[in-house]
Amino acid sequence: MQHFLSLADLTADELWNLLDLATSLKSEWKSGGNRPILANKSLALVFQKPSLRTRVSFEMGMVHLGGYALYLSPNEIKMGGRESVPDVARVLSGYVDGIMARVFEHDHILQLAEYASVPVINGLSDFNHPAQGLTDLFTILENRGKLEGLTMAYIGDGNNVTRSLMYGAALTGMNFISAAPADYQLPGSDYETGMEMRVSDSQTIDFISDPVLAVREADVIYTDVWTSMGQEAESAERLKIFPPYQLNEKLIANSKSDAIILHCLPAHRGEEITDAVADGEKSVMFQQAHNRMHAQKAILATLLQ
pLDDT at 185: 97
Query: Which pLDDT score, from 0 to 100, does residue 17 have?
Result: 98
Confidence of residue 294 (pLDDT cuts 50, 70, 90): very high
Reported CATH class of domain 7-129+292-304: alpha beta
C-alpha distance across the termini of the chain, in Å: 12
Q: Is the pLDDT of residue 121 over 90?
A: yes
Which tens digit of pLDDT belongs to each residue from 3-44?
999 999 999 999 999 999 999 999 999 999 999 999 999 999
CATH number given to 132-288: 3.40.50.1370
- Across 233-249, b (16+ Cβ under 10 Å) vs e yields eeeeebeeebeebbbbe
pLDDT grade for 75, boundaries at 50, 70 and 90: confident
Domain residue ranges in the chain: 7-129+292-304, 132-288
What is the reported pLDDT for 234? Answer: 87
The answer to whether the beta carbons of residues 34 and 42 sit under 8 Å apart is: no
pLDDT digits (tens, 9 = 90+) for 146-195: 999 999 999 999 999 999 999 999 999 999 999 999 999 999 999 999 99
| pLDDT of res. 198 | 98
Q: Provide, rounded to the nearest whole percent, the portion of the chain with pLDDT above 90.
A: 93
Summary mean pLDDT of the chain: 96
Q: What is the pLDDT of residues 47-64, one digit of tens each?
A: 999 899 999 999 999 999
**What was the pLDDT predicted at 172?**
98
pLDDT value of residue 80:
79
* Residue 47 contacts residue 58 (beta carbons within 8 Å): no
pTM of the model: 0.97
Given a cut of 90, whether residue 267 has pLDDT beyond it is yes
pLDDT, residue 230, reads 73
Strand order in the sheet with 68-72: 68-72, 42-47, 98-102, 120-124
Catalytically active residues are 102, 129, 132, 224, 264, 292
Rounded distance between C-alpha atoms, residue 157 and residue 228, angstroms: 9
Mean pLDDT of 192-220: 97
pLDDT-based confidence at 81, cuts 50/70/90?
A: confident
Query: What is the tens place of the pLDDT at every residue in 227-255?
Result: 887 778 889 999 999 999 999 999 999 99
Check for a shared fold between 7-129+292-304 and 132-288: yes
